[in-house]
Amino acid sequence: MQKLIITIKKALTIFLGVMLLSITEMLAQDIKRPPVWGVAKMTFLVSDFNIARSFYGDFLGYEEAFSYHTDLGKVISFKVNDRQFLEFVEDSQIKRKNSFVSVSFHCDDISGMEAYLKSREINILKEHGLDNAGNEVLSIQSTEFYQIEFINFTKSGLHKRTATRFLGKERVANRLHHAGLYVSDVAKADYLFRDILGFWEMWRFKTANDIRPNFIYMGIPDCIENIEYLVTDDSNTSHPCFKVEDMQEMIYVLKERSGGRKIPRPIIGKGNRWLLNMKNEDNTKVEFTESFTVR
């Protein structure tokens, strides 16, 4: 009789465990991913703030809008438009590091995103809260060294409070087309971006003799902006890519502002669009692309 009772208890324990697991999985399936609306900002290290002010400010024409402090130190923010920013943290040891810090995506429902990511067992680095610029943020680790941030620019935050300001006519482009992200393992990146976050593959390229793809464009699910996997041995290749309407006119603008900087030769990229790639004094890349194919 005692053995029968023990057997029944074990069976009940297993049954309840299976039921609890099933309920947990059902609840996880019911939590939907909130919309992701586009690239909000990219953050890089810079050896000296004056390099950022000279290259992104004087040369590319973006205005420094404000600054604030983070765990990494002071951040200075340059406006691309009212919803997109390039931000920089000063670090004199940049030569020994990768310059890319994080990419941030727009999300209106940060608490919902946190619940969704937890339901998919994604490790949260920084839970839902306000950053020192006054915005709602949530941070996770990418499959590489840089972080992924989901951000909601609040009305009281520094980014929203500068709306319509610091948008000078000197800007060579007024929108980020995509965020180029270094990726060493496509399968791991796909699991996070495609399977968890809902990004979708738009296009990939690889050379005939290369086993792995070289570039993969992934569409952000709820908008037309995208990210680019840069599958390369160079871990310092992450970059912002700006959309320009007339590459030739932009080249002339940069030529007039060059101040001794060499303007690289534009190329026709694998997607049959004009591209121009440059690097700042810290060897951090920026890219420009026309929004249409070569005609």
CATH number at residue 283: 3.10.180.10
Question: What is the full per-residue pLDDT of the chain (295 aa) written as tens digits?
Answer: 555 455 555 555 555 555 555 544 554 558 999 999 999 999 999 999 999 999 999 999 999 999 999 999 999 999 999 999 999 999 999 989 999 999 999 999 999 999 999 999 999 998 899 999 999 999 999 999 999 999 999 999 999 999 999 999 999 999 999 999 999 999 999 999 999 999 999 988 876 666 677 899 999 999 999 999 999 999 999 999 999 999 999 999 999 999 889 999 999 988 899 999 999 999 999 999 998 888 7
The answer to whether residue 166 is domain-embedded is no
183 plus 105 within the same structural domain: no
Q: Tell me: do 214 and 105 sit in the same domain.
A: no
Could you tell me if residue 26 is inside a domain?
no
Same domain, 227 and 272: yes
Predicted TM-score of the model (pTM)? 0.88
Q: Which of 100, 135, 161 is at the close of a domain? A: 161
In a domain, 124, yes or no: yes
Number of domains in the chain: 2
Strands (E), 6-162: 39-46, 63-70, 73-81, 84-90, 100-106, 124-130, 136-141, 147-152
Residue 28 lies in a domain: no
The separation between CA 167 and the C-alpha centre of its own chain, rounded to angstroms, equals 22
- Pairing verdict, β 124-130 and 73-81: unpaired
Q: Which range of residues forms the domain containing residue 194? A: 176-290
**Domain boundary residue, one of 131, 161, 191:** 161
- Domain presence at residue 11: no
Boundary (domain end) residue, out of 135, 161, 187: 161
